[in-house]
Structure 1
């Protein structure tokens, strides 16, 4: 399309890869990552969320101070199991590295006061149940505050940097996605009876449920958001609840979590910002939890320009974020059919506007007597502020034999009664504008470049799966599993902070590639 603000998407065969081939220097060994955690200041700051020195304690004092169990939590995110982590901390060389980190942040006297070796698995399990899980909410909120401060220190989500709403930088956006951690057991019932009448007990994960994972074909949805399967002759047909398979047949028994992060170029540069467990009976599902997390980050991070998310976000979610004056960049769902917008009457000519693929099109009649919809070039993405909300517009160029016209079309927000003249709001006219007109349409070059940041979150989830023993969740129950996710995020942020100390200019992202380079996890 000529002279369009967002440009045309590049064909797959000539699309340029954003990530460079990894070098051996990009590899982060386990010993390096243990050191990263030991010297990560936020682990020690996180202790404030579980500090219980407000009154006298009854019983035997703990063998280790609270920050040691937070170090254990983060190290478990590297080793993949509490048993293996406890074994590592019994090693004198590993424990000495931990002592050096404690001495660096808390002083030599504190480091010398620690026992000769690290905590055992039994001590860890006791601390998890009595110290960490009771303060899970405080830990999560404190982690979110510390993570955002870390992102700002590392030049991410900068509030003072120049902004281009039509082409934001990757480090000015947050990316989110949901992932399903496989249940530690495949049992769904507490006991079973075999053919001989023998009753066998099974341990069941109370947080696990059958979840759809991966990019399977989504059910088409009507504008109210209700899922339905379309039938060309009989109309909407309810989905069979017994059909637990998507087009790829990928149903996973496990717990779903939503995670948001932001990153710069280079390996191990991502900073994880927030996370949350998604109960299997959550009203609104994954999208409701993700929207809450996204809004919390947007409200706290002045420099955040928008959100990258997948098709779980629909018109109602776009509306909430656009009203905050931010971008939501995701793909238009396949069930969105063309809708009539308006007819532009310029006296000597008329132009019929329709929505299609997230942007405005003009209906053009062909010599064959048929009509087609042609996308209108977008000249500008306008963002206008008012005391209580924001408005977004596409400045369109409407081609015409008598001379091109300019038209300003609202996008991203579905207006309600009182926001427009009587009878003219989108709700009154029955047009879900946020569902059909995107701020940055997905069939454009800009969207193609930016949306890769959302797909890049899969690298972080792949790292999570590999960090877990046997690629399965290593805890039972939502609270204990949330601690597993928190420990993994702490370990990843520790490495990101260490990489930034080593190279604060991000020069490694442009390093030359050697022959025979290898590809480690891209986190």
Structure 2
């Protein structure tokens, strides 16, 4: 939640940086990361959830936990080919043997081969793991949440502050398009010069995706859920990961809402979620009805909405919600119309000298008839911003002003004063006590 929610947004250069710089203590060597994977007790709990091998056929050369360690090491080494090359080294394979010895005993460690599985053995075992992927994911979600609770994340007996929640009380979620494992996008391609027909392997989960910045990406899309206790990067726990089917009803946000609600149901100490602009009002409402807090960027294009009228005394203050902040509707100073011509032939109003706490600018004159009544909903701009350009006043026949094309002012009668028009109202987060809105 921004610190300036009840005032104008600070410029980016004046905001206090909150992201901590990556330091030397956050670094982990390759040997340390593989040791963490081998000594993780959740790895062995996942292996016990798989069905035991059958009695018919040749005996397996490696247990299921060895291929789960291969899967974990692949995320560290970035590819299956590189993982197989490292595990063929007896010194690297000793890391896993020591983990098995500490978790399953010395007898289970002695039954392991001298080196790790090859890439072909991993590809064969991967098909078996994929058949039980749903059961493995269900168990992983429970184990990951238990690990987070043991680290002090989502405490149920801690004080809650809805205006300033703690980092360890919120879920951090985001959608990401992963790189497609195959470059081809079609099963078959034809060489237009030779007429050769080529067949390719494609990833059925990959599809053209559009990211938040408007960039196009090709690959499968997932939503990741994580949480951490403090500023230490190594304390982060990945709670869940869900695939977003292409053209799914509701898209990424619908999948994210389901994941957040599932975590909140199993973790009473969870207060809400941090997300990006993919969430809209309907998604925030679904989480808020469960008692959750959603902190995300306000989607652009929303019109200001009336919030409340305050009457502390003789003053009247109208509060509006604009750009994710509480703003006050205040009138601008009365302006006088300048009748000289400009190239665009738009009517221009120029405000008088600014008073304390206000800023003046030139802006297009209103197209509505001159009236002393209060204007309809205010413009969604702060006092120190330039409002949007309005259309030309069709009822006016006199020329307008511009410093780029000199012209002669239109003749006016000395007995007729210059017409004064009321200015538009605007939204401001500054205090204007004593001025009615």
Give the structure-2-normalised TM-score: 0.73
For residue 227 of structure 2, the aligned residue among 262, 282, 302 is 262
**Alignment CA distance shift 1:269-1:337 (3 Å):** same
Whole-angstrom CA distance in 1 between matches of 2:121 and 2:151: 35
Q: What does 1:25-40 align with in structure 2 at a 5 Å threshold? A: 25-40=25-40
**2:8–2:428 CA contact under 8 A, matched in 1:** no
For residue 138 of structure 2, the aligned residue among 141, 144, 150 is 141
> Where does residue 188 of structure 1 map in the other structure?
185
- SS of aligned partner of 1:332: coil
> Where does residue 66 of structure 1 map in the other structure?
64
Q: What does 1:122-137 align with in structure 2 at a 5 Å threshold? A: 122-130=120-128, 132-137=129-134
Q: What does 1:271-350 align with in structure 2 at a 5 Å threshold? A: 271-341=237-307
Q: CA deviation at 1:102?
A: 0.7
Indicate whether 1:168 and 2:222 are aligned: no
Q: CA deviation at 1:60?
A: 2.3
Whole-angstrom CA distance in 2 between matches of 1:105 and 1:260: 28
Asked which structure has the greater RCO (Cα within 8 Å, sep 6+), the reply is 1
Whole-angstrom CA distance in 2 between matches of 1:347 and 1:24: 58
> Where does residue 217 of structure 2 map in the other structure?
252
Whole-angstrom CA distance in 2 between matches of 1:98 and 1:29: 16
Whole-angstrom CA distance in 1 between matches of 2:9 and 2:308: 27
**Alignment CA distance shift 1:329-1:22 (3 Å):** closer
The count of corresponding residues between Structure 1 and Structure 2 is 344
- SS of aligned partner of 2:208: strand
Q: CA deviation at 1:108?
A: 1.0
Gaps of 5+ in 1: 217-245, 378-398, 404-523
Whole-angstrom CA distance in 2 between matches of 1:29 and 1:311: 35
Q: CA deviation at 1:14?
A: 3.7
Whole-angstrom CA distance in 1 between matches of 2:126 and 2:152: 34
**2:8–2:430 CA contact under 8 A, matched in 1:** no
Q: CA deviation at 1:164?
A: 1.3
Whole-angstrom CA distance in 1 between matches of 2:110 and 2:253: 48
- SS of aligned partner of 1:144: helix
Q: CA deviation at 1:13?
A: 2.2
> Where does residue 435 of structure 1 map in the other structure?
none
**Alignment CA distance shift 1:162-1:376 (3 Å):** farther
Q: CA deviation at 1:23?
A: 3.9
Q: What does 1:87-126 align with in structure 2 at a 5 Å threshold? A: 87-126=85-124
Whole-angstrom CA distance in 2 between matches of 1:51 and 1:129: 14
**1:49–1:135 CA contact under 8 A, matched in 2:** no
Give the structure-1-normalised TM-score: 0.61
- SS of aligned partner of 2:220: strand
Aligned-CA RMSD value: 2.6
Q: Deviations over 1:198-239 (max 9, x none)?
A: 2122222211111112x42xxxxxxxxxxxxxxxxxxxxxxx
Range that drifts further, 19-28 or 202-211 = 19-28
**Alignment CA distance shift 1:154-1:200 (3 Å):** same
Whole-angstrom CA distance in 1 between matches of 2:51 and 2:8: 55
Gaps of 5+ in 2: 335-421
Q: CA deviation at 1:279?
A: 0.9
Q: What does 1:348-387 align with in structure 2 at a 5 Å threshold? A: 351-368=317-334, 369=422, 370-375=424-429
**Alignment CA distance shift 1:401-1:8 (3 Å):** closer
- SS of aligned partner of 2:198: strand
Q: CA deviation at 1:401?
A: 3.8
- SS of aligned partner of 1:67: helix
Q: CA deviation at 1:187?
A: 1.9
Q: CA deviation at 1:266?
A: 1.9
> Where does residue 179 of structure 1 map in the other structure?
176
Whole-angstrom CA distance in 2 between matches of 1:142 and 1:212: 32
Whole-angstrom CA distance in 2 between matches of 1:351 and 1:14: 28
**1:313–1:330 CA contact under 8 A, matched in 2:** yes
Q: CA deviation at 1:268?
A: 2.2
Q: Deviations over 1:364-402 (max 9, x none)?
A: 22332321123489xxxxxxxxxxxxxxxxxxxxx7549
> Where does residue 24 of structure 2 map in the other structure?
24
**1:51–1:66 CA contact under 8 A, matched in 2:** no
> Where does residue 204 of structure 1 map in the other structure?
202
